[in-house]
Each structure stands twice: as structure tokens, then as C-alpha cells.
Amino acid sequence: MQARNLFEYAVIRIMPRVEREEFINVGVVLLCKKRNFLQALYELNPERLKAICPGCDVEELAAHLEAFARIAAGEPGAGPIAQLDAAGRFRWLTAQRSTVLQPSKVHPGLCDDPIQMLERLFREMVL
């Protein structure tokens, strides 16, 4: 019997006007330290975004989300944070901030396969 793996995840949100606390979920980032797994999935729906923020720059937000995913993946050209170990990158990506792109609080769980869990959370929280 295969042991279940502890994982942590956060929902990635776009909060165009921080003071109003309105947001839309656009992605999920999941860390499974035991499996050395860290990945982010995201999808930016321009129509939904424009419903709560008509003046948002969709292309700029898409670029920020892409950078977020590249850091999570540890890509060599994604800057110094991308060179940290998976847990370090996850902690940096999920640190609370008051910018347009924000993570939720970090939530733990157990799973057999971190990729399947990431895809499930993405479907449930974003799509």
C-alpha cells in the first residue's frame, strides 16, 4: 500500500481593488515536499476579470501569472527566487501581500498523486 503524501496549496487570486476585497480565483499552486513537487496551474478569463475591473490590463496580469508559474517550476531564467528549493519557492509565492495578484491562505491535505490533486483543486477552485 502506497503512503499518502502531505501537500500544501494556495489559491491564486486577482484582487483588482484591494480595498474592496473582491477577487476572482485564477489558479492554484501546490507543494508536495516529499515528492519534490511544486507546480502552479492558472487560467485568466478576461470576461470575468472585466466584470469586476473594466480597466484592468489583462495582458499585464497574464504576464504576472506566467512569471508566477515559471518561478514555481524553478525555471533557470525566472530570476533568483526560482533558484530556491521547492519549499522556499512555495513560501515566497504564498507570502501574503497587498498587490493585485494574491495567494489565499495555505491549506494542507493528503494525496496519492500531487499532479492529480493539483488538477482537481484547479477544476474545483478556478474553472
Strand partners, 8: 31, 108
Number of other CB atoms surrounding residue 79 within 10 Å:
11
> What are the pLDDT digits (tens) for 16-49?
887 888 899 999 999 999 999 999 999 999 999 9
pTM: 0.93
**Run of H or E including 115:** helix 114-125
User: CA gyration radius for the chain?
Assistant: 15
Estimate the share of the chain in helix, then strand, then coil, as percent rounded to the nearest 5: 45, 25, 30
